A and B are shown apart, each in its own frame.
Chain A
Amino acid sequence: DAKTTQPNSMESNEEEPVHLPCNHSTISGTDYIHWYRQLPSQGPEYVIHGLTSNVNNRMASLAIAEDRKSSTLILHRATLRDAAVYYCILKRYNQGGKLIFGQGTELSVKP
């Protein structure tokens, strides 16, 4: 299965930007990069995904390295409600689109 590497935990201050890194050196050309987050006692929530180009949506931005071996999820202004576990996942075309979760990064946000 496609492997991603993320820091176990990160801290941020409220209203400051947060950059969550992810390494995926075994990525193949058809793998999509997906990010999900999971708040306590809830199911995972889709955040953003991309293939090659940087992506923006109302929740976050995704910056993908030119060689696609790493990516960064950017929360532009962290709020207390952004405290969650953030998962970076490779969605593999040749594995039926399975979404296999890695260990994730636990983000805490200080007021």
Chain B
Amino acid sequence: GAVVSQHPSRVICKSGTSVKIECRSLDFQATTMFWYRQFPKKSLMLMATSNEGSKATYEQGVEKDKFLINHASLTLSTLTVTSAHPEDSSFYICSAIPGGSSYNEQFFGPGTRLTVL
């Protein structure tokens, strides 16, 4: 149980285009999902917290107009990288907390490798 999927697993796009990444909780409902990015050999950096039915909360230094987050249902959150540039190339990972869990164990997706040319 507690499986989180991401789609696509890899994406290559041209500079200036927008890319949407989906994060789904497959066998549980998640009122809260998180988006992270990870650079090679670096740790995960929390970008934003996504709550179903409300606006996402962004961490300091993360541009909300650049990284659009929509948590439209209890099983789906999307991250859209708008007007992508090469410096946005990274490994993006989402996680989800099952509704009602008491101590916030997070279940992570497999990640999406974004390469902007």
Judge: A and B partners, yes or no.
no
B residues at A contact (CB < 8 Å): none
